[in-house]
Every structure is written in structure tokens, then in C-alpha cells.
């Protein structure tokens, strides 16, 4: 489905990808709650949201390949950085989150952006 504000939604998605890249590649990433596996939960949540978000904008095959490739690129860049590490478990958490995000987009949650476009706001007249 093509949304009325498709380009704006895609621009927002690019900003999300840049935020993930920054958080993944900065030498001192922001620290959230600390518990065993917290890092993997963060990966899963980030890629769940990215998968859910982009599945509303682009063909699912493109989303799947693009985001999995993006996660692999980020992990590879971490491995080359000298201060972060490539972790297969992170890549697995990314893939799991992506799959769950696509699953969420298959239901009513996959129409959230279209629903937002129907709301009355200064940016959505008509």
C-alpha cells in the first residue's frame, strides 16, 4: 500500500536507520537497563520496530533483505572498529526482531501509519 505521505514516512525511516547506526557504532553507546541479555533485547526491539515500520512502506521482500543486510553491515563495521565487536548472537537477535516485526505488520498493526494519516492535524488537512 502506498501512503499519502510516503516520502515523509521513508525519510523518518532513514532517520531511524541513522539512529540505529549511531547507537551501534559509537564507542560509548547509551546505556539502558542492565541485565543479562539486555544487549540482545535491544537488538530484537530495534529490528522489530524497523521491520514493522518499513513493512508498511515497502514490499516485504525488500524489507527483509534490506534490513537483514543492514544488520550484517552494522555488525561487520563493529568488528572493524577496534572498539566494538561482531557478534553472531546480535545478528540472530536482529533477524528474530525483524521476523517478529514483519509478523506484527501482517495484522491490524500493519495499518498504523495509514491510520495516522487519517487523523486530523495541522499537517494532515482534508
DSSP 124: B
What pTM was computed for the model? Answer: 0.90
Helix (H, G, I), strand (E, B) or coil at 121: strand
pLDDT at 1: 63
Per DSSP, the chain holds a count of helices (H) and strands (E) of: 5, 0
Q: Which residues of the chain fall below pLDDT 50?
A: none
C-alpha 104/C-alpha 120 separation (Å) is 25
Give which of 75, 66, 48, 65 is closest to 10, Cα–Cα.
Answer: 66
Amino acid at each position: 500500500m502506498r501512503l499519502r505521505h510516503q516520502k515523509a514516512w521513508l525519510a523518518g525511516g532513514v532517520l531511524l536507520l541513522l539512529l540505529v547506526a549511531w547507537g551501534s557504532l559509537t564507542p560509548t553507546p547509551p546505556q539502558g537497563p542492565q541485565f543479562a541479555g539486555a544487549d540482545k533485547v535491544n537488538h530484537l526491539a530495534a529490528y522489530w520496530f524497523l521491520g514493522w515500520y518499513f513493512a508498511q512502506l515497502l514490499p516485504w521482500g525488500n524489507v527483509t533483505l534490506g534490513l537483514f543486510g543492514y544488520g550484517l553491515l552494522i555488525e561487520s563495521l563493529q568488528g572493524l572498529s577496534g572498539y566494538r565487536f561482531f557478534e553472531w548472537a546480535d545478528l540472530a537477535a536482529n533477524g528474530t526482531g525483524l521476523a517478529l516485526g514483519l509478523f506484527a505488520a501482517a495484522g491490524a498493526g500493519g495499518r498504523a501509519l495509514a491510520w495516522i494519516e487519517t487523523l486530523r492535524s495541522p499537517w494532515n488537512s482534508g
